[in-house]
Structure 1
Amino acid sequence: MDDISVLTWRELVAVTGSEERARRLLAAGEYRRVLRGVYAARPVPDGPLLRAAALKAALPAGVVLSGRAALWAIGVDALQLDGQLDVTTARGKHLEPRQGMRPHSALLPDDELVELPSGLPAVSAPRAFVDVARREGLVEAVALGDMVLRSGAATLEQLEAAVDR
C-alpha cells in the first residue's frame, strides 16, 4: 500500500454527500480522524505512510514540523492527545494562526533540519526533543527522551549534543 489517501473535512463531506452522513460514517467507524481536519478510511493502518499523507494534507507551505509533531512523523509516538501540530517558521516570518496548529518562530540552522522520506521538512529528532523539553517539565522531558532513544530516532550522544547547543 504505497499510496495512502486521506481526506480533509471538506473532501470527506463531498465524498459522503453531506456533513450529517460524514458524521454518521465517522461514528460508525467507516472513517477515522488521523489529525484535526484529516481523515482516513478505517482499514488504513497507522504508520509512517498514513502519518505522512495526513501531515501533507494539513501543513501550510513554508513551515517545518517541529516538537512533538516532528517526532510523531519520524515514528516516535509523542503526539499529544489534543492533536495540535507544532510547526515552525524561520525567525522573522509570520504564520497565520490555524486550527490544529501550534506555530513557533525560531532559528532553523540547516544542520538541524531533515527531509523525511515522505518529502516533508522537519527539525531533527534531537532538535525536536530539546524544543519539547524546554517547554515541558522535567518528568515529561525524561519520558520523551526515553521514547526517542527506544525508537532509535536518535542516540544518547545526539541528544546530549543538542542539549549543549
Structure 2
Amino acid sequence: MTDTVDSVLLAAAPAGPPGDPGPLPAGRADAVVFAVADAERSAARYRAALGLCCTAYAGPETGEPETVSYVLTGPGTRIVLTSPVRATGPRGRELAAHLARYGDGVLDLAVSVPDVYYAYDYVVDRGALSLAEPYETRDRFGSVVLATIAVPGGSRHTLVDRANYAGPYLPGYEPYDPHGPGGLR
C-alpha cells in the first residue's frame, strides 16, 4: 500500500528544478478512512470477514456529536469506518454530502510523514489543493499534527505526524470497549 500512496502523492507533485530536495519523504499508509452509511454494521462485518480488531471508537458518547467512527486494526492495517449521526453541523453535513454523491467508499487515505509542515509545503508548492493547513490537535494521550490535501475523485489525503501521540488513534477517540458506548453486537 505504501507504494500506492507514494505514487499518488508524487504524481500530484511533479519534479522541481535542479537542486530540488527530491521526492516527498512519505512514510507509510497511516489509515484508510471509509465513509459508510452505517459504521456500526460495517465494523461488525469487517471484523467478521477480515478478522480485524476494533481498537478505538469516537461518537456522541466521546464528544463527537455529528459522526460515529470505529477504528479496526490488523497486522500492518488500520481502517476507520465513519458515518454521520446528524447532518446539522459541518462534519456531519460534509460526510452526508459525500455519501450522497459517492456512496460508501474511501473518504481519506491518511499518510504518515515525519514532518507534516514540510510535507504540506512540498505538495502544495507543486500544485496540490489544500483543504486544511497543518494544525496540532491534542488530548490526554499527547498531540498529533495533521494537514489535508484534495485528490481527484472526491477523496483526500491527510498528512499525519503522530510521533508525540500514544493514544488509540487520534484525539477524540477512546480505546474501544465492547461493553461501553459504541460496543459492537
Shared fold, TM over 0.5: no
TM-score relative to the length of structure 2: 0.25
| Greater helix fraction, Structure 1 or Structure 2 | 1
| Greater strand fraction, Structure 1 or Structure 2 | 2
TM-score relative to the length of structure 1: 0.27
User: Larger relative CO (CA 8 A, sep 6+): 1 or 2?
Assistant: 2
